[in-house]
């Protein structure tokens, strides 16, 4: 599972090793990262992405940014409402496996957790290769090409309304949030017990005729089941799709009140 944690000066040797990797350097060829200064800078959130506790990549969120940049490629003009994300995965063997997507989803969710933020920006090199495809797949829209000093970049933006329309939580994103908020689950049955409590609360809301409350309780049950499924290494939506394929091909013995049991084949 991918989790994000704050980067520290202890991570500097790791950053320097990753920056030597050709694809990472190519994404930012003329930028001379001064790590102690970067880590201490105001308005920047520097995060290490870990895969099951192993550092695999870096995310930087510039908390104040807008579409105006200076020649040194710094996002300037401190207008509220914009955030910019920089992302890279250190080793080739960790790329193209969905980790970048999971990292970016969490970074975007962090940005939009602040209700004042209306737009997230990224600026990969303007090639038709991985970075631009990645930007499009993450829902960003191309805005314009820019030249910062010796660097050509393509600016992409994701407005909040697009993110809200397209947003889909996954078992992994829910589990990452839950672990960051509540800590690791000591045992998966702790989660099923909690889900059972939520299910009881759902039933109480239904018996009381409180529809809106019942919908919220149903979501709480599903959120816990997403976390269990992620910790078992799968995604609940995928598992539901697979199970529905089976269900649609089963023969059912009806109990007469709207549910039933499948017949053994």
Ligand X SMILES: CC(C)(COP(=O)(O)OP(=O)(O)OC[C@H]1O[C@@H](n2cnc3c(N)ncnc32)[C@H](O)[C@@H]1OP(=O)(O)O)[C@@H](O)C(=O)NCCC(=O)NCCS
Whether 107 and 61 have beta carbons less than 8 Å apart is answered as yes
Report d(CA 73, CA 171) in Å as an integer.
36
**147-186 footprint of ligand X as x/- string (CB under 6 A):** ----------------------------------------
Q: Tokens for 219?
A: 């979501």
Q: Does 27 contact ligand X by CB under 6 A?
A: yes
Residue 8 CB, nearest distance to ligand X (Å)? 21
**Closest CB to ligand X among 137 and 196?**
137
Q: Does 133 contact ligand X by CB under 6 A?
A: yes
Q: Tokens for 90?
A: 């250190």
Report d(CA 31, CA 76) in Å as an integer.
16
**Closest CB to ligand X among 176 and 202?**
176
- Among 2, 7, 24, 49, the residue binding ligand X under the rule CB under 6 A is 24
Q: Does 96 contact ligand X by CB under 6 A?
A: yes
Report d(CA 204, CA 196) in Å as an integer.
12
Report d(CA 73, CA 107) in Å as an integer.
21
Q: What are the two backbone dihedrals, phi and then psi, of residue 65, each rounded to the nearest 5 degrees?
A: -160, 155
Residues in contact with ligand X, total (CB under 6 A)?
Answer: 21
Report d(CA 147, CA 130) in Å as an integer.
20
Whether 2 and 106 have beta carbons less than 8 Å apart is answered as yes
Residue 98 CB, nearest distance to ligand X (Å)? 5
Q: Does 134 contact ligand X by CB under 6 A?
A: yes
Residue 158 CB, nearest distance to ligand X (Å)? 12
Residue numbers at the binding site for ligand X (CB under 6 A): 23-24, 27, 87-89, 95-101, 122, 124, 130-131, 133-135, 137
């Amino acid at each position: 599972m991918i989790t994000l944690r704050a980067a520290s000066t202890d991570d500097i040797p790791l950053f320097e090793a990753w920056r030597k990797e050709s694809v990472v350097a190519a994404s930012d060829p003329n930028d001379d990262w001064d790590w102690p200064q970067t880590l201490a800078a105001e308005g920047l959130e520097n995060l290490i992405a870990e895969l099951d506790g192993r550092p695999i990549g870096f995310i930087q969120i510039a908390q104040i940014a807008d579409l105006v940049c200076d020649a040194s490629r710094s996002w300037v003009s401190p207008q509220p409402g914009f955030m910019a994300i920089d992302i890279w995965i250190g080793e080739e063997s960790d790329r193209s496996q969905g980790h970048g997507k999971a990292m970016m989803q969490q970074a975007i969710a962090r940005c939009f957790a602040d209700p004042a933020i209306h737009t997230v920006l990224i600026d990969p090199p303007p090639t038709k290769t991985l970075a631009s495809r990645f930007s499009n797949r993450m829902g960003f829209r191309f805005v314009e090409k820019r030249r910062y000093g010796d660097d050509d970049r393509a600016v992409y933006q994701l407005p909040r309304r697009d993110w809200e329309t397209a947003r889909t939580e996954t078992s992994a994103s829910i589990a990452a949030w839950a672990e960051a908020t509540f800590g690791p689950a000591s045992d998966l049955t702790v989660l099923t017990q909690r889900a059972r409590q939520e299910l009881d609360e759902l039933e109480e809301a239904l018996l009381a005729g409180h529809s809106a409350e019942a919908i919220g309780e149903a979501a709480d049950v599903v959120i816990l089941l997403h976390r269990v499924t992620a910790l078992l290494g799968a995604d609940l939506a995928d598992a539901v799709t697979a199970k529905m394929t089976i269900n649609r091909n089963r023969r059912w013995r009806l109990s007469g009140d709207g549910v039933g049991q499948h017949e053994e084949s």
